[in-house]
Structure 1
Amino acid sequence: MKYRNVCVECITAILPPHVVTSDEIEAELAPVYQRLGLPEGRLELMTGIRERRFFDPGTKPGTISAQTARKAIEQSGLNPALFGALIHGSVCRDQMEPATAASVHAGAGLPQDCLVLDVSNACLGLLNGAALIADLIELGQIRAGVVVGTEIGRPLVEGTIDRLKTNPDVTRKSIKLEFASLTIGSGSAAIVLCDRKLSRTGNRLLGGAARANTSHHNLCAGGVEPEQTGDTRPQMSTDSEALLFAGVELATETWERTRAVLGWQNEMVDKVVTHQVGRAHRNLLLEKLGIAPEKDFPTVEFMGNSGAVALPTAAAFAIEKNHIVAGDRVALLGIGSGLNSIMLGMEMGA
């Protein structure tokens, strides 16, 4: 995919108010740790996640997403009447039907002649949504659009803790499949894209590539199974080690294709933003891609893995903290369970 007429006008994030540390989670799991002989500090040591953030109990994704979309639209400076698409791209949604995007669209105050839909693709939903909006802009079908999402991690983390505490059959082997669930955080992010002629920033979206290796679709799976568990909270099972190596392998292939599409070499890339999973994933990914760690802007230490909003949130902070500056070539390196990967290249305006 290549774009000539698309700009990323702004990337915005909202932080949840409640901080939960890895130490606090392990304190809750102390009886389980003691029974299994697991050392304290294991969660932060293995992931690099010091803390994650949660919204208030009972918060609906759409409520926060409407706030984030309004913030992004205001920050972009674009007239809301110019928007022709709103996509909601997080894993979390308000309900199965209608699309969560419907309530977000109503709350964001966008026009009725607007494409409104949800896009669901694990941790890639927002990047996939951004690419779809970019396609519509490039084709001349719309002039501007926003993709937004909110991940609510509290029910998954708290449900995992409760299940581990009450299940006497948990072993050192079986707890490994639950480990990734304890790294999950919450967050909300939005990306506004527009026709180059409307842009005030000149932050061009140049294009990118997408690849899939769906033979690994069973490495991470989650959902709600109240009929079997009696619990309406989501649960997730993840083979973290297999997912790490398979994911990085796919990312390496996608990066090669992305560079070919954009005509980039590694030395031409000034900054990168990666999906925020954990320390081991980041280190291995950057090593295999041949990218210097100082080009990256990690947020996983204080945000945890916030799903589809993790990468856009990191990008928003990187811009806010002047890690990404005018003139930079920036690579957004997305990957999600499935396995799927999409990588996009940007060039920041002068």
Structure 2
Amino acid sequence: MRYQHVCLEALSYTLPPHRVTSEELERQLAPLYDRWGLSVGRLELMTGIRERRFFDPGTRPGQVSAKTAQQALELSGLDRRHIGALIHGSVCRDQLEPATANSVHHALDLPDRAFVVDVSNACLGLMNGMVMLADMIELGHVRAGVVVGTEDGRDLVEGTIESLVSNPNVTRNDLKLAFASLTIGAGSAAIVLCDRKLSRTQNRLLGGVFRADTGSHRLCQGDIEAEKHGDGRPRMETDSEALLNAGVNLAAATWQRLKQNLGWQNADVQKAFTHQVGRAHRKLLYERLGLDPAIDFSTVEFLGNTGSVALPMSLAIGVQRGHVRP
């Protein structure tokens, strides 16, 4: 997968207003920690996550996505008439149907001929959306477009804690399966791609590769089980250690394929941005890829795992802070 005509024209992000520390979450788990002799601080120690952020209760993802996409469009300087696609790529959405992309498209007053769609694929949604949009631009179907998404882990985190504490039969293994849920944060990111002939930046998107390990699909599963938990908030069960190893193995194989596709060597890579999971993931990932961790820009310490917006939001913050200069 190689591109000759696609440029990454603008990035933007929105941070939620409410900071919640890992210690605050663990204090809510005090009955369980006391029962099992666990000490407060283990969540940050094991993950490196000091805090994460949440939006106001009741915030609709589309509302925030519209704001973030508006910022990206303004930064791009592109005329709205050139925007031929709006892709909403987060797990969180306003409702099952219609697509959240509709409300965002309406709020932005984009052309009615635009391709408008939701693409939801766990932590890959915005990246998948970028590939879809890049393909459309490369093929000449559209001249420019926006990929945007908003994740908010408030309901997941609060619901998980409530379920654990209120369950008289809860076990250490239940806490272990819920541990990854406590790392989830919130945020919003938007990416504007355009045809090279429209671009003012000439920041080319060179290409990429796909690789799948669908045999690992049961290692992390999230759903809304109102009949089980008594509310409509999502819950998630994760085999964190197995998922860590499977993910890094897949990343290593994908990295080799990407280098072949682009003609790269490790020494060619001066800066890197990755999905944000935690301290152990970052360490093992860079070891397996054979890259110096010093090239990395990490946000997981103060944002937690923000799902599909983690990588593009980290990139936007990294550009803003001068880690990489476009």
Provide the TM-score with structure 1 as the length reference. 0.92
Counterpart of 1:315, as a letter, is L
1:8 paired with 2:8, answer yes
Higher strand share: 1
Once the two structures are overlaid, the 10-residue window that deviates more, 161-170 or 187-196, is 161-170
Q: Which residue of 1 aligns with 2:268?
A: 268
Aligned to 1:93: 93
Please give the alpha-carbon distance, in whole angstroms, between the structure 2 residues aligned to 1:223 and 1:193.
Answer: 32
| Residue type of the alignment partner of 1:203 | N
Corresponding position: 1:32 with 2:32: yes
Look up the equivalent residue of 2:152 and give its one-letter code.
I
Partner of 1:177: 177
Matches of 1:49 and 1:167, distance apart in 2: 26
What is the TM-score normalised by the length of structure 2? 0.99
Q: Which amino acid aligns with 1:10?
A: A
Hey, what does 2:252 align to over in structure 1? 252
My pick for the range that moved more, 300-309 or 37-46, is 37-46
Quote the offset at 1:159 in angstroms: 0.4
Instruction: Letter of the 1:313 partner, please give it.
Output: M
Aligned partner of 1:299 in structure 2 is 299
Query: Which amino acid in structure 2 is aligned with residue 273 of structure 1?
Result: F
Structure 1 runs not aligned, ≥5 long: 327-350
1:197 aligns to what SS in structure 2?
Answer: coil
Q: SS of 1:273's equivalent?
A: coil
User: Does residue 1:54 correspond to 2:62, yes or no?
Assistant: no
What's the counterpart of residue 210 of structure 2? 210
Aligned runs of 1:188-207 on 2, under 5 Å?
188-207=188-207
Q: CA deviation at 1:201?
A: 0.8
CA distance in 2, matches of 1:175, 1:24: 16
Name the counterpart of 2:143: 143
- Identity score, percent: 64
Query: Counterpart of 1:337?
Result: none
Question: Aligned residues, how many?
Answer: 326
Counterpart residue number, 1:347: none
Where 2:310 maps in the other structure, the secondary structure is helix
Per-residue displacement from partner, 1:121-149 (whole Å, max 9, x unpaired)?
10000011001000000001100010000
Residue pairs, 1:327-342, within 5 angstroms: none
Shift in Å, 1:227:
2.2
Secondary structure of the 2:197 match is helix
CA distance in 2, matches of 1:162, 1:174: 13
- The answer to whether the 8 A contact 1:36-1:171 is kept is no
CA contact (8 A) 2:163 2:229 kept: no
The letter of the residue matching 1:8 is L
CA distance in 2, matches of 1:282, 1:105: 36
Q: Which residue of 2 aligns with 1:224?
A: 224
Which residue in the other structure is 1:122 paired with?
122
* The 10-residue stretch of structure 1 (276-285 or 164-173) with the greater mean CA deviation from structure 2: 164-173
Give the aligned residue type for 1:228. Answer: K
The answer for the alignment partner of 1:71 in structure 2 is 71
Q: Which one-letter code corresponds to 2:216 in the other structure?
A: H
Name the aligned partner's letter for residue 10 of structure 2. C
Deviation of 1:116 after TM superposition, in Å, equals 0.2
Question: Which amino acid in the other structure matches residue 220 of structure 1?
Answer: C
Whole-angstrom distance in 1 between the partners of 2:182 and 2:252? 27
Q: Distance in 2 between matches of 1:41 and 1:273?
A: 27
TM-fit CA distance, 1:171: 1.6
For residue 194 of structure 2, give the secondary structure of its aligned residue in structure 1. Answer: strand
4+ residue runs of structure 1 moved beyond 4 angstroms?
Answer: none
Q: CA deviation at 1:36?
A: 1.5
Compute the displacement of 1:213 (Å).
0.6
Letter in 2 for 1:233: R
Q: Which amino acid aligns with 1:123?
A: C
- Deviation at 1:109? 1.5
1:223 positional shift: 1.1
C-alpha separation in 1, matches of 2:109 and 2:263: 39
- Letter in structure 2 aligned against 1:21: T
**SS of residue in 2 equivalent to 1:193:** strand
Distance, in Å, in 1 between the alignment partners of 2:253 and 2:320 is 30
Runs of at least 5 residues in structure 2 that lack an aligned partner in the other structure: none
Deviation at 1:174, TM superposition (A): 2.0
SS class of match (1:287): helix
CA distance in 2, matches of 1:43, 1:16: 21
Aligned to 1:205, the other structure's residue is in SS state coil
Distance in 1, matches of 2:287 and 2:154, equals 32
